[in-house]
Amino acid sequence: MLLRGVWRGLRHRVAAACSPCIPRAYSAACSEGPGSAIKYEMPEHLQSMPQERDPLFTAMVAYNYHSAVAKLVPMFEKSMKGRQRLTDGQRKHRVEGIMRIMGSCSACVEVTFPVKLDDGSFTLITGYRAHHSVHKIPVKGGIRFSSDVCSDEVKGLAALMSYKTACVNAPFGGAKGGIKINPKDYSENELEKITRRYTLELVKRGFIGPGIDVPAPDMNTGPLEMSWIADQYAKTLGHADINSYATVTGKPINLGGVAGRQDATGRGVYLGTNSFIKEEALMQQIGLTPGWKDKTYVVQGFGNVGFHTARFFTKAGARCIGVVEWDCAIRSCDGINPHELLEHMKRTGSIKDFPGTEPVDREEMLLAECDILAPCATEKVIHLDNADKVKAKIIAEGANGPLTPAADKILMEKKVLIIPDIYLNAGGVTVSYFEWVKNVNHKSFGRLSLKYEEMTQLHLLDSVQKSLNKSLPNCNIEIHPSDEFKRRLLDASEKEIVRASLEATMEKTAGEIKFMAKEHNLGINMRIAAYCNALYKIYKCYEEAGLTL
């Protein structure tokens, strides 16, 4: 009796929490099939997604979400069988409820506020912050400055964050925010005012805090903007909170940032691509040899993610033959040095006229003959109308959502390997997690252990030397650490610990994704495999912790 009452309430609240773009069609999708199993179908409003020219961003993410859920339903049902005190019907409702919750956005705020500009005039600024799945708290995700920012974009990006954090086991829910401005239109002083006021609006609404929501850099934001956010929070709501600087990651080191966050996303793009490119069987399927040697690549977007991705790809042995930016593209068959291009960009403000390169049409460069295309700029750049012209064999998604479902379908038919955003660009949030852990622990990685570990290792060598000389008294054996061993001991630092941990995360997650691809017969569809990897983990959280209060 009591259970029935609770269940009725639960159902009501689940339905109320669902986002408007998913739920009704979605309940139809969960109808009863033969026996008590759930017969799952793609919701009607998403079925045309593989033919859509310019889909809503939330709909794109929802399409991928439902494609993965369709594969996972039997696993969900099997797992729920463990709840033996529930009836079959209750178990079914519970699985359906969790599926609705995992695909919906929990909350989204839109704020509009006035800012006084340097010339004394006033302007109105609009910003957003979306919280997607709150199965883990705090929620986490970047803040971008862009004139394209809108509620649909931040909601879709927040959903990607939920799936991304789960995919790489960063214990956060998903969030994303943005301010609808072109930062080029404002002075640094104005940008600081805008960022601080936006932070204050989030504070007023309970949308930021070290245990609530922890933003980070995204397009057009970096350590400076994060330091303004941290400072604003610490001087207002967080003034008495010892953890207040854990309210944002990607901060400068002096304000509690972690070594290695700046290049973490690009490093992760490299490590993740490496996990796939080294696989002989997989490379054979797409007509490539394994490894980086002689590989060519094109990068779109030469900002934080694009530059570091290019830096690591080139270091691994690949050749950058083209770079595409918002205003132009450049090409060089001999290869473009990412460091020199960055210097040129800092000096001139553009990649234009970089010595040794020729100008080329932006779309032409994006679609040019190469082994790897790394879109590291923005959403929906490969779509229904240009996907069949892509010549790359691997697409390394540094950006969030650079391919529409229509592009996915076309590219998959062409046997192009797509290494998906929710895995490949998760290096950023992974290292953000390390920063947050550092902040709430109030000590840097290795601070209390590095010297001790060095001494322990040296004692170990000494002990081995003594034992050998005791057993072989006439040999006078001396054991010396090799140069590499010495380097590891003496150069050990927070940076080394962060890098090693990021590498371990990217490698382990690649293994999980490949497992899911095999388990569900997904072939080279690593996007759906990565979603399966993420969603099963989120599902288990809801199954074990509950859906409602």
Ligand X SMILES: NC(=O)C1=CN([C@@H]2O[C@H](COP(=O)(O)OP(=O)(O)OC[C@H]3O[C@@H](n4cnc5c(N)ncnc54)[C@H](O)[C@@H]3O)[C@@H](O)[C@H]2O)C=CC1
Mark 92-131 with x for binding to ligand AKG (rule: CB under 6 A) and - for no binding: ----------------------------------------
Question: Which of residues 100 and 314 has its CB atom nearest to ligand X in the complex?
Answer: 314
Sole residue written with tokens 């029935």: 4
175, 214, 324, 368: which one binds ligand X (CB under 6 A): 324
Please identify which of the residues 136, 140, 164, 176 carries the catalytic annotation: 176
User: Among this protein's residues, is 176 annotated catalytic?
Assistant: yes
Select the binding partner of residue 141 from ligand X, ligand AKG, none (C-beta < 5 to 8 A, by kind): ligand AKG
DSSP helix/strand/coil, 369: coil
Smallest distance from ligand X to CB 262, Å:
9
Phi, psi of 38 (to 5 degrees): -85, 125
Among 199, 249, 262, 300, binds ligand AKG (CB under 6 A): 249
- Residue whose C-alpha is closest to residue 135's, from 99, 162, 175: 162
271 binds ligand X (CB under 6 A): no
Write out the DSSP string of 127-159. Answer: EEEEE---SSSSEEEEEEE-TT--HHHHHHHHH
| Interface pick for ligand X out of 326, 350, 386, 501 (rule CB under 6 A) | 326
User: Applying CB under 6 A, which of residues 64, 232, 304, 525 lies at the interface with ligand X?
Assistant: 304
- The pair of three-digit structure tokens given for residue 436, joined into one six-digit string: 């947050």
**Type of residue numbered 134:** V
Among 165, 247, 249, 265, binds ligand X (CB under 6 A): 265
Task: Give dist(CA 150, CA 110) in Å, integer.
Answer: 9
142 lies in the site for ligand AKG, by CB under 6 A: yes
Residue 300 binds: one of ligand AKG, ligand X, none (C-beta under 5 to 8 A by kind): ligand X
Residue carrying the six token digits 């033959």: 321
Nearer to ligand AKG, 425 or 509 (CB): 425
113 lies in the binding site for ligand X (CB under 6 A) = no
* The only residue of 400, 439, 525, 533 in contact with ligand AKG, by rule CB under 6 A: 400
What is the nearest approach in angstroms of ligand X to the Cβ of residue 417?
Answer: 19
Q: How many alpha carbons lie under 13 Å from residue 418 in its C-beta half-sphere? A: 31
- Residue type for position 537: K
Q: Is the Cα dihedral 13, 19, 20, 21 positive or negative?
A: negative
**Closest C-alpha among 373, 413, 410 to residue 393:** 373
DSSP 8-state secondary structure symbol assigned to residue 375: E
383 φ/ψ angles, rounded to the nearest 5 degrees: -145, -170
Count other C-beta atoms under 10 Å from residue 280's C-beta.
11
* Binder of residue 19, out of ligand X, ligand AKG, none (CB less than 5 to 8 A by kind): none
- Residue 465 CA to residue 481 CA, distance in Å, equals 11
Shortest distance (Å) from residue 79 CB to ligand X = 30
Q: Does 7 help bind ligand X (rule: CB under 6 A)?
A: no
Q: Look-up: residue for tokens 């998403």?
A: 46
Piece of 124-132, 294-302, 503-511, 541-549 that binds ligand X (CB under 6 A): 294-302
Query: Which sequence positions are flagged as catalytic?
Result: 176
Residues making contact with ligand AKG (CB under 6 A): 140-142, 161, 164, 216, 218, 249, 400, 425, 428-429, 432
Residues making contact with ligand X (CB under 6 A): 142, 217-220, 265, 300-306, 324-326, 376-378, 398-400, 425, 428
